[in-house]
Amino acid sequence: MATTHKTRMLIIGSGPAGLSAAIYGARAGMEPIVVQGLQPGGQLTITTDVENYPGFREVIQGPWLMQEMEAQAVHVGTRMMYDIITSVDLTGPVFTATSDSGDIYEGDTLVIATGAQAQWLGVPGEQELSGKGVSACATCDGFFYRGKKVVVIGGGNTAVEEALYLTNHSDEVTLIHRRDSLRAEKILQDRLFANPKINVVWDKRVERFMEGEDGGLRALALIDTKTGEQSEILTDGAFVAIGHAPATELFKGKLAMDETGYLLVEPGTPKTAIPGVFACGDVMDHVYRQAITAAGTGCMAALDAERYLAHRDFAEAAKVEA
């Protein structure tokens, strides 16, 4: 039989944003429910070494960090639900989410923390070598390639920004693009072409990520998009930078989004256009996309949800007295 679960704060998504919102919400007495979704723990569960999350002097593992966040959220009073939301009703005043199990979740406030997924090339070796030389985040993993050869794959703003960032760690950065011109903004292109540490390889498509004897990435197999000529490029690290896809399918037609699908919020806040509905983490942030920034916006969402409920409860009490 389907069950209806009620809470003061319903959270969809269980990455750093969702779990941080849960921790703050639970400590405020809102007894939050977190519906974990398809990938409990978010993108950090498929990340190995994490060296840029504050509070840990040594390198930590992404899955371990998310296990600790979840344990902390549960410890302070969060209910974790291993379920997948298939539809939402945002008409309010109570927000409703229905899951594929048939269960219904009702929240006086709703925190959307469904995140975003890096887009991959889908070629052989890519997933097998993920974390072993192949990455989708230079800011996250570039530090591990100090003094080594690295390549960036893509031609938009993300790819150019990643290539420029990697020059902080490497003197040999190669940008590989399948066309003969970049799609990035002109100011970024100017910075790229002016940087002596960056070489651009035009009209090349990655056919395969090649494993070395040590089990890590050794090289990329390329094919010329105009002539069909095959070649290889040796590298220590490869960063796939062809964009991210926010997990916002549930909210199409119900919440405002930008042209790429990221949820729009009031600048500097996690507030959406619907009072009581908040968006945090990578689902609304296409600029920073870091665990620490996601956690920060999760905190903001919980604090704003608490204030929203306090104002609403005060107004309702005033009506009763009148």
299 labelled catalytic: no
Instruction: Name the catalytic one among 83, 108, 141, 285.
Output: 141
**What CA–CA distance (Å, rounded) separates 227 from 204?**
10
**What CA–CA distance (Å, rounded) separates 283 from 157?**
19
Is there a contact between 278 and 112 (Cβ–Cβ < 8 Å)? yes
89 labelled catalytic: no
**What CA–CA distance (Å, rounded) separates 294 from 302?**
13
Instruction: Name the catalytic one among 49, 83, 108, 137.
Output: 137
CA distances, 245 to each of 48, 197, 298 (Å)? 21, 30, 19
Instruction: Name the catalytic one among 140, 236, 280, 282.
Output: 140
**What CA–CA distance (Å, rounded) separates 164 from 169?**
10
Choose among 239, 19, 286: nearest CA to 129: 239
- The tokens describing 171, both together, are 């003197």
Q: What 3-state DSSP class applies to 43? A: helix
137 labelled catalytic: yes
**Residue entry with tokens 């069909």:** 228
- Which residues are registered as beta bridge partners of 224? 204
How many helices, marked H, and strands, marked E, lie in the chain?
Answer: 6, 19
Indicate which residues carry an active-site annotation: 137, 140-141
